[in-house]
Amino acid sequence: MGGVNDPSQTAPPRIGVVMGSRSDFPTMEAALDVLAQLGLAYEVRVLSAHRTPELLPSYAARAERLNLSCIIAGAGGAAHLPGMLAAFTRVPVLGVPVQSRALSGNDSLLSIVQMPGGIPVATFAIGTAGARNAALFAAAILATTDKEVRERLNTLRRQQTQAVLDDPFFEGHPEAGAE
């Protein structure tokens, strides 16, 4: 997890990424790719409210000690990890519902989104789109105070738009080139 030459792995982490199991990695990799693309330093851990409950308060304390700007937490099924982490820290938790096999991630989504008032978890879409957006949201948080991150995010948006415009299927679009 995190390539040897990955620049996002050489600086002190600004963002924490945790997941309930190694089996969540194919989903959470989408978040790591975005963070790496934006050159944002992160750290990755497997952490489970069910299987490693005693590690949750210590990871929450670590997040505060390192002054992480947020924690991206992915989990599937009875996805208690994001909410339990949020209960232990004021560091913003961005929850990613991993697509479960039995219930297609609806269980993960509802477990993460339905927090009681008082302990917020920002909840994203099920699966890789949610993981990607959580990373972009984490970058947007940093961009409020970091001009360089702001510029990188703007560039990424411009490239995204250009990729649509460059698609041959876009040619002849009734709105293409319209004033």
Q: Where along the sequence are the contacts to ligand C2R (CB under 6 A)? A: 20-21, 23-24, 48-51, 75-81, 98
Q: Minimum Å distance from CB 96 to ligand C2R?
A: 10
CB 132 within 8 A of CB 74: no
First to last CA, the chain: 47
For ligand C2R, the closer CB: 83 or 139: 83
CB of 15 or CB of 28, closer to ligand C2R: 28
User: What is the smallest separation between the CB atom of 79 and ligand C2R, expressed in angstroms?
Assistant: 4
Name which of 76 and 92 has its Cβ closer to ligand C2R: 76
Min dist CB 152 to ligand C2R, Å, is 30
**Which residues fall within 8 angstroms of residue 94, CB to CB, at 6 or more apart?**
70, 71, 72, 73, 82, 121, 122, 124, 134, 137, 138
The distance of closest approach from Cβ of residue 102 to ligand C2R in the complex, given in angstroms and rounded to an integer, is 10
Q: For residue 95, what are the CA distances in angstroms to 83, 107, 160, 176?
A: 8, 13, 24, 37
Q: Considering beta carbons, is residue 24 or 43 the nearer one to ligand C2R?
A: 24
**Residue with the two structure tokens 């005693």:** 54
